[in-house]
Structure 1
Amino acid sequence: MGLLDKIFKGDGEETKDKSTFPWTDLTDKDQITIALEESKNKTVGIFKHSTSCGISKMVLRNFESQFEEDENTKLYFLDLKKHRDVSNAVAENLGVRHESPQFIILQNEEVVHHASHQDIDAAKLEELS
């Protein structure tokens, strides 16, 4: 397998088993309200991911490899292909223009940071937690 194959896997497979990473699937618009409520007590991150985009896959793998689990952090994973309506609601409710991939950090019911593409960095989440 060549370097580009490793970076841009075409089969949709991620490097870590999703069941072992602390993602909570964001599949319903009502979960946005729940995430905002949770952000009163812990830092909440929302990762918006396009399963058909090589760059998004690469950024997701980098984020997962950098992230160190913390009990004061809750992570949501939004599959844009399956839940575009939820992505639109996130943009509208949080006032953050849609991008993909995108990572949004919430604290005390407010967006305290958002980044897209290669600017997504797990260190920023750790810094804010």
Structure 2
Amino acid sequence: MDKDYKREALRILKVSNWTDDMISKAFAVSEKEIIRIESTKKNIYKEEHRKRIMNILPPDLKKQVDYLSTYRKRNKTIVNERVNIIRRLRSEFPFSFPEIGLLLRRDHSTIMHHYKSSVEH
């Protein structure tokens, strides 16, 4: 296994609260298996976190968020709606940019960009 790859994998596993015993067992399997396990773990966390946040939202906003998070195109109307939702989530709820990113299935930096551009205009 490449030394830099191993160091990065160890860092990720430590941050994820894995014990040393769990890490040593993980390195006994192939590199591909480690990547699969870690990515599955991250996706499960994101989906559980997203569901918990969605339960807080009122029904009208929940429908909009569901639609806009699955729609992948960059249609101007859709993007403007996303910006409105981002602004509403930041003002009406105590959500961080990463949490809003989870809801809309976008990177937190994208959410920050949209929020900043909406506040400036």
More helix by share: 2
TM over 0.5: no
Give the structure-2-normalised TM-score. 0.32
